[in-house]
Amino acid sequence: MKNTAEIKKENQRRIWEILRDGKAHTKQEVSFITRLSQATCNTILNEFEAEGQVRGDKRRSGEVGRSSVAYRLNRDFESFLCIGFELIKGRRSFFWRVKTAIGEVLDQGRTYREMITCRDIENKVEELKERFPNLQAIAMGTPSVADKGWIRHCDLPEFDNVPVVEILEERFHLPVHLENDMHYKVYGYYLKECRREDTVTILNYPGNVLPGMGTVVEGKVIKGWNQFAGMVGFLPYDVTREEQLKSLVPGAYLPFLAKGAASVIPLLNPRVIVLTGDLVEEGHAEQVRRYCEKTIPEEYLPEFVWVPDIEEYYFAGMFERAIEEKWRKK
């Protein structure tokens, strides 16, 4: 049973979420949408205003009559950092985006390096924290297993066995959410493109690195016991890991994608499979479907969708997780 503090925090989150649309809402409107009492909404909105989280402006209805106060989130009160690194076509890079609570982009960028270490990430966070002292939480994406705050089996081996969450939280005193990049991507795609009850899977096949997969079932990302779920590069393809990596090139990778999709469908039964990655071309979706038809009844085949650029979904997933981390640590 929830205690009083937990109930209040839950109510605060519900009201705060209403205001994330960036529009102004009266206490009466917030009460109607959340189904909370006007007294509860009045108390919480007054507290938010006193803290500076929201701003209230008087709104008059018609020429005559009482005015009411409409509240909107204060864009200057807090910001959130999405940051990550990856290896694409043999090039290492790390990237970032700082956003307000209502999703406005305050800063973004990408830096390419021959070698990237955790210290590079730390230095970038330090720079951004100096520019945006109102940072509330960090979401970090990584092409690896994100095992309870540690990076394992990373495409960038210099990050292997690095306790990145502990390092960043100790240095910057901010909550940090670390997750496999595919989990962020599929969560962002689900939030933007899917119905609440959907099951959706993303299969990502970049060149010369192990592929990844992410699945959301009714809003829940399938991560497994230590976030290993989705590592389709470890499926038994009857070749060595080295041979598999050499085959993940244009003209040779397609059998691996087809087998990955055919393995996913009977286990997770997604409504949609999204195919992405720099190896994947538009016509490959139909070829994968034909391969899956050989073993899977047609009525259980998902919709196959090709998405050439998954970046916006990636940031959408990270942004949402950063916000969740803020409320989890609140």
pLDDT band at 77 (very low <50, low <70, confident <90, very high): very high
Q: How far is CA 126 from each of CA 123, 139, 172, rounded to the nearest angstrom?
A: 5, 15, 8
Write out the two tokens for 255: 């059998």
Decide if 166 contacts 149 (C-beta within 8 A): yes
User: Does the structure show a pLDDT above 60 at 63?
Assistant: no
Distance CA 285, CA 282 (A): 6
Nearest-CA neighbor of 320 among 173, 144, 137, 126?
137
Give tens-digit pLDDT for 228-238: 888 888 888 88
Predicted pLDDT of residue 89:
84
Predicted pLDDT of residue 259:
93
User: Does the structure show a pLDDT above 70 at 66?
Assistant: no
What is the overall mean pLDDT for the chain?
Answer: 93
Could you give the residue ranges of the DSSP H alpha helices within the chain?
4-19, 27-34, 38-51, 118-131, 164-172, 181-193, 241-247, 254-268, 284-293, 311-329
Predicted pLDDT of residue 90:
86
Low-confidence winner among 19-28, 64-73, 80-89 (lowest mean pLDDT): 64-73
| Single-letter residue type at 265 | I
Decide if 164 contacts 155 (C-beta within 8 A): no
Report pTM. 0.92
Write out the two tokens for 140: 């970090």
Three-class SS state of 198: coil
